[in-house]
Structure 1
Amino acid sequence: MRHKIVLMIGGTETLEYFSYQLKKGFEALGYKTFLFDQTMEEESAEKLYTFADPYDTILVTFNFDGIHYETSLFGADGISIWNKRKIPCVNIVVDHPFYYPELYEIIPDIFYNIYIDRYHGQYLKKFYPHIKCGPFLPLGGTSIYPDGNFPDINIRPYDIIFTGNYTPPEEFDQYIMRNGDEYADFYNEIIDDLISSPDQPDDTVIERYILKEIPDADKGQIRKTIPNMIFIDTYVRFYFRGEVVKALIDNGIKVHCVGKGWNRLCCRHPENLTYTSDVLSQGCLEALSQSKLSLNVMPWFKDGAHDRIFNSMLNGAVCLTDHSKYLDEILTPNKNVVFYDLKQLEMLPFIVHSLLSDKEHLKQIQQEAFKYASENHTWHQRARMLHEGLLKFI
């Protein structure tokens, strides 16, 4: 068993925050850790070469950070420290794998891909069967009140909050129209299919339409074609974010959004929407601790979870979320979570009114959710899952 773990910071702020949380979990398990700061690449690389012993070190990273772009980690011979010192690279991909087709073609010698949605795992095993995949690792949550002593429901200033950015779907029209009307019709047909049946994984729907147009397309062709349509994933993601928030604010329910772009949401009653931009991960947790309800719209993880769910539970905001196969397996409706249906958004205002009118029930869900998430879904638990499921064997 190896005893040292390298984690990456200094890139995407959210991923840095996850790395800091995993660091605590790994250290609690007895690992020595090193944080490679991508904003101080040369200095960090010098320290890394001292820390990273061959056959005793593992890189645990998110979205390929540290694997391909940091020139200081490659020698004059073009060989990376990971390959030269036989260091396994454990890559947790927090997006769909189809966002990274070029990177999957140039992986390190010892490489493990961790997926956060079981459909993502199926995609990888189908199109990249040579890559070691797993275990499945849902995103984890963080509490700023680990003892459960968070603000009482009755004194929280926000009724309902959403943490996440927004981009108007029409921003993606440039990609839909880039190849002319025939392609635009093809893309819009896929988008309409996903919107009308939102329980489908988008890669399987895209593949189905490719095969409808090109019946003899092989796996290699499909693998190369799907990433050219990733704008469909972002389109439907932001479409539903907007529709879910509008279903509330246009029916008289005030919603506070924490994230960029919400000033661009077209709605009938903008007076019911407030927003705060440029908030980092810690600020999102603090905002959750000030809200009675936390709205979640899954980013097309149809067999996984989002950290927004567990962050809500761990900071005392009752989570109101749409479904996924995984969430339906692990959560208990009206006990530790409240579900709504993307196909029945007209019911969402009634669900919210019902919850806000029964504070005692809210408190019961709040307490059950905190207990459940604290025991099962923190980043400390994710560190242990990685250790038990993979790290202790490599």
Structure 2
Amino acid sequence: MSTITRKKTIILVSPNSQYGVSQYFVIDLSAELKKLGFNVLIVSPTVFNKKLTTFLADSTLYFIFGMNGWGFESLSKHILNKTLNVPFIAYLLDHPLYHSNRIDFNISSNRFIVSCVDLNHLKDLETFFKGNFQTAFIPQGAKLPSNLLKNRLPMEKRPIPLLFAGSYMDENLYRKEWNNHILSKVFDEISERAIYQNKDSVLLTANQVFAEKGLPFGIPEDKVLIYYLNQIDLFIRAKRRREVLETVAPLNITIYNEKWSYLKKLGALVKPSINYAELLRILSQTKITLNILPNYVYGGHERIFNSLLSGSVCFSDRNEFLDNNFQNKREILLYNLNNTKMITDTLTYYLNQNNLLANIVRNGQQKVMKEHTWRQRAKTLLKEVGKNYTLPIQ
């Protein structure tokens, strides 16, 4: 009698998120893992906690993946007591400081893997936290529905010249958080140093400023300082976003978020917010998609990959990851945050060059299809898990 081999199971823990972005990441990752031969379950943190005993007793369970680390709190005792028999991967879309209130990065475990979308986030983990666990660099990925892949408009027929679809951020809301703090001038200096550079994380910049002033730097123990560093990071993101959008508003840019309505007076076309699925459809109608990175030092964003896959040239602020992975003006268009003339001149020129845009996007699509889809990310994830854990399926 032949033996039937049961598929190994992977559990993906995923909460709700703004515009459904992280849910789509999980759905896309799940689809690729299924193609690779796994049984995949997507559960909410609540369901995961409720059924934890059942999940852990499943003999087919291979590993647990927590989007933004969700699931860690349910598993923390097992991780600390070394009773977790399968790996738990905390996949973080933001800097670990944003998750340090839920996830203990000072623990030691050979069943705990932290994956970041920015390589410098991992460096910060190693420098400032005391844990001993496996780390992985797995950026976000791209995937388009098959109908959009088949029906991408040629460049000359795309009705939207320039697009931005990021959320609204008010820098003043973050800045006022430390306005009356005893270290407000120190926090201002950290912000000023970090605002236009793309080599160091906010955490590393803060450490340097504190050291220069002879101040104790209490990371990771000082939860109050962590809070203010997160506010500084959000302030930087918001200010960068506002300045770039005010620069490009006169260039007939379409912005899908009504909170940016004040930019109408500068020439922008502002529309209501759209969800992730609708954004993918809109990208296939767009010539150039503006990207403003969320303060990544060495990492990419899904909007970069999805815009190129959709046939829209991505115009992004540069960092070392993009410089190393894409050829500027051949596979992508890059700009410097502190050079407004470069931003407007580049866009003004390329918006009138359909043939050049078509060539760039053709090359960019090839790069993304080869290196930056969720298919590649799923394989990288399995490779990272397999480093310290035997892969059950050959």
Alpha-carbon displacement from aligned partner over 1:120-142 (angstroms, at most 9, x marks no partner): 01001112242323221111112
1:78-93 to 2 correspondences below 5 Å = 86-93=85-92
| Partner of residue 375, structure 1 | 370
1:26-175 to 2 correspondences below 5 Å = 26-38=33-45, 41=47, 45-46=50-51, 49=54, 53-54=58-59, 56-68=61-73, 86-105=85-104, 110-145=111-146, 147=149, 149-175=151-177
Residue identity matched to 2:124: Y
| Partner of residue 190, structure 2 | 190
* CA drift at 1:290: 1.5
Q: Which runs of 5+ in 1 are unaligned?
A: none
Give the alignment partner of residue 348 of structure 1, picking from 343, 347, 350. 343
| Partner of residue 209, structure 1 | 209
* CA drift at 1:105: 2.4
Secondary structure in 2 aligned to 1:104? coil
| Partner of residue 294, structure 1 | 289
| Partner of residue 200, structure 1 | 200
| Partner of residue 255, structure 1 | 253
Q: 1:34 to 1:276 in 2, by over 3 A?
A: same
- Of 123-132 and 103-112, the range deviating more from structure 2: 103-112
For the 8 Å contact 1:8–1:61, the answer to whether it is kept is yes
| Whole-angstrom distance in 1 between the partners of 2:317 and 2:246 | 15
For the 8 Å contact 1:207–1:226, the answer to whether it is kept is no
Alpha-carbon displacement from aligned partner over 1:17-44 (angstroms, at most 9, x marks no partner): 11111101111111111111347x28x9
Q: Which runs of 5+ in 2 are unaligned?
A: 1-6, 390-394
| Whole-angstrom distance in 1 between the partners of 2:239 and 2:88 | 35
TM-score (norm 1): 0.86
| Whole-angstrom distance in 2 between the partners of 1:135 and 1:259 | 34
| Partner of residue 16, structure 2 | 11
* CA drift at 1:221: 5.8
Secondary structure in 2 aligned to 1:343? coil
For the 8 Å contact 1:247–1:345, the answer to whether it is kept is yes
| Partner of residue 359, structure 1 | 354
Residue identity matched to 2:212: K
Residue identity matched to 2:318: H
| Whole-angstrom distance in 2 between the partners of 1:315 and 1:235 | 31
| Whole-angstrom distance in 2 between the partners of 1:133 and 1:163 | 35
* CA drift at 1:313: 0.8
Residue identity matched to 1:28: K
Secondary structure in 1 aligned to 2:183? helix
| Partner of residue 386, structure 1 | 381
| Whole-angstrom distance in 1 between the partners of 2:241 and 2:22 | 22
Residue identity matched to 2:370: E
Q: 1:231 to 1:46 in 2, by over 3 A?
A: closer
Residue identity matched to 2:343: L
| Whole-angstrom distance in 2 between the partners of 1:47 and 1:226 | 31
| Whole-angstrom distance in 2 between the partners of 1:128 and 1:55 | 33
| Whole-angstrom distance in 2 between the partners of 1:285 and 1:313 | 11
Give the alignment partner of residue 273 of structure 1, picking from 246, 265, 269. 269
Alpha-carbon displacement from aligned partner over 1:313-370 (angstroms, at most 9, x marks no partner): 1111100011111111010111110111112122211111111111111111111111
Residue identity matched to 2:229: M
| Whole-angstrom distance in 2 between the partners of 1:48 and 1:16 | 24
| Whole-angstrom distance in 2 between the partners of 1:137 and 1:46 | 28
Alpha-carbon displacement from aligned partner over 1:209-253 (angstroms, at most 9, x marks no partner): 12223356576567873443211100010111111111111xx31
TM-score (norm 2): 0.86
For the 8 Å contact 1:11–1:38, the answer to whether it is kept is no
| Whole-angstrom distance in 1 between the partners of 2:122 and 2:384 | 15
